């Protein structure tokens, strides 16, 4: 019988302890990106950041929690009015905090929002919650204006079922062969970038007759369901995040990866690879989240292949085995809109409509860039923080 994950962790903890967990964790410094050393501790913030607090500006708007753990939906709200309100900064800042706390927030029928307003909203969410001034909106290395169905704006990724089939040949979809699991679809956006996303906003403009739901899962809750000794072990690790399939798709389809700066000066070049912590602190909430989960994560550094693979598969299993840390969203109308925090949630689309002649699924996605991922030893888990708040 193969060893359990707990046994795997126990076997490697002693031999890695001296290498990976120094007596004092190193301080993050501003240096140019270099090849990762063979042994590397997670990036650690130089100063502990206090979580942001809600002002109460959104309290007068009707909303409800979709599940106890993740998701909130606002009812009969017009986001364009929030963008133009006299207290707009206060509203948008509280929205950013709410998204970071609840993971994902939903709005229905935002019929008067445009691509430019969508970009403005997601950029201000990051700015008003403290992202670096050098972080703008992401330009996707593949899904940009250079593609046939890519639209005219590099900062808006057109999410198109037809484009995906043409470019990826169903690489990310499970209808191309008789697979019995869609778990490989779970991911957080663009974690292969040195500076990945904080907030992402997706507005669907064309819906199939049925199907095409999106699911989100809480990385906070994944972390909280792990035993304390294993949490501490995982906090000492980094992982390599990369997406070679984008390069493969570009080569097969005769185009080049977008190699100019992709929304931040660090996100440049054709090599889509970065090293980030396995456990990440969300600076808005101060809560810990498993971060190394999904199809952009290639390996956990400093572990042998079997150990790394066992842990990465276990993280995904914690999501797919626990539907109570997920929320499933049914897109009901054109211009329904979702905004999520990529630092602390994972998501997956449901391609159940693709071979059923149910129509296309198309949307506009704008992705804000945040900070370099880091782990703050003084941060806490979500459940611990909420329990302290009730005390």
Model confidence at 19: pLDDT above 70: no
DSSP 3-state assignment of 157?
A: strand
Q: CA 258 to CA 144: how far, in whole Å? A: 8
Model confidence at 164: pLDDT above 90: no
Residue 157 has a CB neighbour count (10 Å cut-off) of: 27
Q: What is the pTM of this model?
A: 0.87
Please classify residue 71 by burial: count the beta carbons closer than 10 Å to its beta carbon, then call 0-12 exposed, 13-18 middle and 19+ buried.
Answer: buried
Q: What DSSP element (H or E) covers 204?
A: strand 197-206
- Fold of the domain built from segment(s) 37-386: Double-stranded beta-helix (3.60.130)
Q: How far lies 172's CA from each of 116, 240, 292, 341, in Å?
A: 29, 20, 18, 22
Q: What is the mean pLDDT of residues 159-164?
A: 66
Query: pLDDT class for 250, splitting at 50, 70, 90?
Result: confident
Q: What is the pLDDT of residue 285?
A: 98
Query: pLDDT class for 375, splitting at 50, 70, 90?
Result: very high
Q: CA 259 to CA 154: how far, in whole Å? A: 13
Distance of CA 55 to the CA centre of its chain: 25
Phi, psi of 346 (to 5 degrees): -120, 155
Query: Which DSSP category does 170 fall into?
Result: T
Model confidence at 49: pLDDT above 90: no
Phi, psi of 325 (to 5 degrees): -110, 10
Query: pLDDT class for 142, splitting at 50, 70, 90?
Result: confident
* From 3-7, 142-146, 193-197, the region with the lowest mean pLDDT: 3-7
Q: What is the pLDDT of residue 310?
A: 98
Q: CA 212 to CA 369: how far, in whole Å? A: 26
Tell me which residue of 375, 365, 372 sits closest to 193, measured CA to CA.
372
Chain segment 104-125, per-residue pLDDT in tens: 999 999 999 999 999 999 999 9
Rg (CA), the chain: 20
- Using the structure block, give the residue that is written with the tokens 């106890």: 68
Q: What is the mean pLDDT of residues 217-235?
A: 99
Q: To 5 degrees, how large is the angle CA 9–CA 218–CA 89?
A: 135
Chain segment 351-366, per-residue pLDDT in tens: 888 888 899 999 999 9
Q: What is the pLDDT of residue 165?
A: 56
Q: What is the mean pLDDT of the chain?
A: 87
Model confidence at 18: pLDDT above 70: no
């Amino acid at each position: 019988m193969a060893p359990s994950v707990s046994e795997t962790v126990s076997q490697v903890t002693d031999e890695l302890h001296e290498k990976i967990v120094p007596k004092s964790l190193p301080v993050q410094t501003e240096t140019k990106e270099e090849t990762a050393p063979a042994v590397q501790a997670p990036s650690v913030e130089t100063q502990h950041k206090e979580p942001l607090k809600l002002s109460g500006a959104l309290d007068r708007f009707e909303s409800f929690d979709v599940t106890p753990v993740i998701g909130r939906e606002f009812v009969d709200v017009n986001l364009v009015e929030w963008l133009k309100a006299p207290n707009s900064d206060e509203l948008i800042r509280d929205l950013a905090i709410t998204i970071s706390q609840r993971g994902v927030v939903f709005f229905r029928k935002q019929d008067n929002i445009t691509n430019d307003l969508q970009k403005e909203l997601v950029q201000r969410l990051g700015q008003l919650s403290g992202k670096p001034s050098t972080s703008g909106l992401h330009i996707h290395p593949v899904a940009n204006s250079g593609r046939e169905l890519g639209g005219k704006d590099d900062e808006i990724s057109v999410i198109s079922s037809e484009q995906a089939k043409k470019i990826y040949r169903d690489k990310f979809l499970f209808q191309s062969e008789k697979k019995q699991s869609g778990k490989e679809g779970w991911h957080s956006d663009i974690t292969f970038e040195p500076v990945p996303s904080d907030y992402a906003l997706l507005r669907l403009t064309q819906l199939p007759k049925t199907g095409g739901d999106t699911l989100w899962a809480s990385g906070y809750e994944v972390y909280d369901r792990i035993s304390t000794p294993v949490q501490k072990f995982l906090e000492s690790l980094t992982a390599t995040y990369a997406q070679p399939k984008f390069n493969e798709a570009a080569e097969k389809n005769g185009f080049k990866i977008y190699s100019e700066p992709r929304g931040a000066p660090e996100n440049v070049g054709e090599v889509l690879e970065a090293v980030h912590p396995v456990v990440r602190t969300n600076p808005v909430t101060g809560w810990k989240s498993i971060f190394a989960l999904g199809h952009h994560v290639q390996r956990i550094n400093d572990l042998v292949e079997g150990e790394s693979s066992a842990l990465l598969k276990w993280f995904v299993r914690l999501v797919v085995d626990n539907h109570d840390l997920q929320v499933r969203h049914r897109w009901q109308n054109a211009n329904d809109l979702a905004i999520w925090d990529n630092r602390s949630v994972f998501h997956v689309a449901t391609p159940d409509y693709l071979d059923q002649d149910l129509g296309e699924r198309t949307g506009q996605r704008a992705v804000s860039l945040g900070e370099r991922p880091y782990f703050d030893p003084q941060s806490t888990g979500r459940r611990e923080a909420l329990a302290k708040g009730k005390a």
